[in-house]
Structures are given as structure tokens and as C-alpha cells.
């Protein structure tokens, strides 16, 4: 029997997805600030400290939960949406950038999921949103996403978002997957997470893929994204500051005229 609120949902869209949560009377979903898209009349919205889970009851528990969120770069507050009407109501949350929203049923994932600190979108009330310290020094220092990740605990539904397309892999015992550190979205608690040096002086200096791999060893499930937000932001910044007229190609000026950049 679930201890978290049971919610129904459907995911809409392709490149820019949103998740529509259906709430029965007195059911609640909690979400990150800024993810709200729309809701039916009869849904009450309240700003709360922490995640509203039973693990963080009482003033000290709520303050401790909210303080932990600061370590992951998140806001002190979350928003709770409760159906106070008589019938079913819907509230919808949108992904912050192009990609996929991944539904995670924690009751089928041993009650715990570890994810990147900016990937959590929303969850049923009762799901605990905490922090996960990487126990290995190498993973903490060179993991690309820092020493701290988020952990989602409970037996309800949680939703995380990824950049681009998402690939789910089930790793068998002893099976290892080498991943770019920014491409990890989430993994189950059984997966062993570590960092491995790429090796080779040419790979290190000229490979363009970073100095370290993340290694994920089974058993367990992992979710990998094709477009980390850091990579997308880097490309946008590079394009915005790149001077086309200094490309140095033989047809550089003519090329600019042909594509409309004839300044």
C-alpha cells in the first residue's frame, strides 16, 4: 500500500513536453518553482518549505529540508497544488528546455532514485526530495555535476526532465557503461557511480571530450540524455559571440551574402 499520494498523469508534446497531472479530491502534487503551466479552477496553490513529505514534518524538519535544497542550487521553496474541489482536476507542468519528461514510479525502483540536481520537475506529495553526496572523492571532484546530486525517495510518482532524447539502459551485474558526465539524468541506487580518467596524452589535450568519463556499473537502471543543458548553453553562447566575417574561408564574404548576413 502506497504511503505517498497516488496521481494519474499523461505526457503531452514531442520536443517541448509537459505533464498533465490528474488529482482526485484532496490529492496533492509538489513541483519546482517556475515549472507551472496551467491548472483547473478548484486547485489550490501553496508555497511550502522543503518538499512537504512526512520525513520533514515539524519546523526544524522543514527548515532542514529547505536548507538542503540550497546545496543543490534549488530554491528554498516548493509549490504544492491540491485539489480542493469535488471532482477530478488537472494541473500541468512544462519542461524548461527541449527534451523529454520521464515518469518514475518509485515503488518499482526500490523506493529511491538518484538524479542530476536540476532534473527534478514534480512529484506526488510524500515523495522526499533530498541530496545525495558522492562518497568517492574522485566522483565528487571530477564528476562534472559536482559532489552533490538529488535523491528522490518514496513510493509515489516523480517526474524528471532530460535534454534532447533519453535512453534507458538496464545494466546487468558487473556490466559497465562509460558516459559523458553531463549526459547522466538519473540512476537507481544499486548502480555504482564513479569517475575514470580518459587516458592518453592526445585524448586529454585534443580529444575535445573532457578528461574524465563517468562509469556506471550494474546492476540497475540508468537514464542518459543526448543534450545536456550545459552543452546546449555552450553552443548558443558560442554562436552568439562568433564573428562570421572572420571565418577566413575563401568564400566567407560571399557565403554571408548568400545566407542573408551581408553586413
- The mean pLDDT value for 70-78 works out to 67
19-28, 44-53, 178-187, 234-243, range with the lowest pLDDT: 234-243
pTM of the model: 0.78
Q: What band does 213 get if pLDDT is binned at 50, 70 and 90? A: confident
Instruction: Identify the pLDDT of residue 118.
Output: 82
Residue range 114-140, pLDDT digits in tens: 998 788 999 999 998 888 866 554 544
- The domain locations on the chain are 8-241
| Predicted local confidence at residue 180, as pLDDT | 85
pLDDT for 34 equals 87
Contact by Cβ (8 Å): 187, 140: no
Q: What was the pLDDT predicted at 17?
A: 94
Confidence at residue 250, expressed as pLDDT on a 0 to 100 scale: 47
The residue with cell 568517492 is 136
**H helix intervals, 19-163:** 59-71, 137-142
Query: Cβ(123)–Cβ(159) under 8 Å?
Result: yes
Whether 220 shows a pLDDT value over 70: the answer reads yes
pLDDT(59) > 50: yes
**Architecture, CATH, for domain 8-241:** 4-Layer Sandwich (3.60)
ω into 112 cis (within 30 of 0):
no
Q: How confident is the model at residue 53 (pLDDT cuts 50, 70, 90)?
A: confident
Q: For the ranges 74-83, 109-118, 143-152, 192-201, which has the lowest average pLDDT? A: 143-152
Is residue 36 a contact partner of residue 95, using CB atoms and an 8 Å limit?
A: no
- Average pLDDT estimate for 206-213: 56
Report, as an integer, the average pLDDT of 228-247: 65
**DSSP, res 24:** -
Amino acid at each position: 500500500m502506497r504511503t505517498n499520494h497516488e496521481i494519474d498523469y499523461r505526457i503531452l508534446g514531442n520536443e517541448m513536453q509537459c505533464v498533465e497531472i490528474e488529482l482526485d479530491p484532496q490529492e496533492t502534487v509538489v513541483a519546482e518553482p517556475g515549472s507551472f503551466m496551467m491548472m483547473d479552477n478548484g486547485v489550490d496553490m501553496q508555497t511550502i518549505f522543503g518538499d512537504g513529505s512526512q520525513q520533514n514534518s515539524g519546523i526544524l524538519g522543514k527548515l532542514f529540508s529547505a536548507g538542503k535544497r540550497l546545496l543543490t542550487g534549488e530554491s528554498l521553496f516548493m509549490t504544492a497544488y491540491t485539489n480542493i474541489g469535488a471532482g477530478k482536476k488537472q494541473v500541468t507542468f512544462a519542461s524548461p528546455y527541449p527534451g523529454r519528461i520521464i515518469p518514475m514510479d518509485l515503488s518499482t525502483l526500490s523506493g529511491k532514485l538518484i538524479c542530476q540536481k536540476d532534473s527534478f520537475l514534480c512529484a506526488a506529495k510524500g515523495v522526499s526530495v533530498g541530496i545525495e553526496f558522492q562518497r568517492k572523492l574522485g566522483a565528487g571532484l571530477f564528476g562534472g555535476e559536482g559532489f552533490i546530486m538529488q535523491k528522490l525517495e518514496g513510493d509515489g510518482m516523480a517526474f524528471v526532465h532530460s535534454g534532447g532524447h533519453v535512453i534507458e539502459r538496464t545494466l546487468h551485474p558487473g556490466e559497465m557503461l562509460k558516459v559523458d558526465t553531463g549526459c547522466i539524468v538519473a540512476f537507481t541506487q544499486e548502480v555504482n557511480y564513479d569517475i575514470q580518467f580518459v587516458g592518453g596524452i592526445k585524448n586529454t589535450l585534443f580529444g575535445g571530450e573532457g578528461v574524465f568519463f563517468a562509469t556506471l556499473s550494474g546492476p540497475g537502471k540508468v537514464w542518459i540524455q543526448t543534450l545536456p543543458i550545459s552543452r546546449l548553453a555552450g553552443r548558443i553562447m558560442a554562436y552568439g559571440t562568433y564573428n562570421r566575417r572572420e571565418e577566413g574561408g575563401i568564400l566567407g564574404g560571399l557565403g554571408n551574402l548568400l545566407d542573408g548576413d551581408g553586413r
